[in-house]
Structure 1
């Protein structure tokens, strides 16, 4: 059975800690602003490549966004 991964809270926490807006994070990561919004609201399960892009833009390890 597939595992569903939601990282909304961790992503928002990391983004706000770095004083970035959703739009700024989206631009740094090369994704659309709606992607960031949907992930933060847990309306979308991101692909791992998207998690890597977001983590790189936030200067964090991708696994830190996946931790419980």
Structure 2
């Protein structure tokens, strides 16, 4: 759920995975894994992504809850 929402927002902002990864200082494969749901996103990274994408971190969570977000870094 979180990864799907990140992808939708990223695409709406016209960014590809490589561009987003560069702006939040991670490798593009990490963005891919997060969007596919095979990797959870830390709260710190989610906050950085929200800032880059110009949205609120709550937009990533959506209606489904917080199961895909870790509190550690």
Counterparts of 2:42 and 2:57, CA distance in 1? 12
Q: Which runs of 5+ in 1 are unaligned?
A: 1-5
Q: Secondary structure at the match of 1:50?
A: helix
1:29/1:56 contact within 8 Å kept: no
Per-residue Cα deviation, 1:8-56 (whole angstroms, up to 9, x for no partner) = 1100100000111000011112222111000000000111001011111
Could you list the structure 1 runs, at least 4 aligned residues long, displaced by more than 3 angstroms after superposition. none
The counterpart of 2:26, out of the listed 14, 26, 31, is 31
Give the aligned CA root-mean-square deviation in angstroms. Answer: 1.0
Q: Secondary structure at the match of 1:28?
A: helix
1:3 alignment counterpart? none
Which of the two has greater strand per residue? 2
1:63 partnered with 2:63:
no
1:17 partnered with 2:29:
no
Q: TM-score, normalised by structure 1?
A: 0.85
Q: What is the number of equivalent residue pairs in this alignment?
A: 63
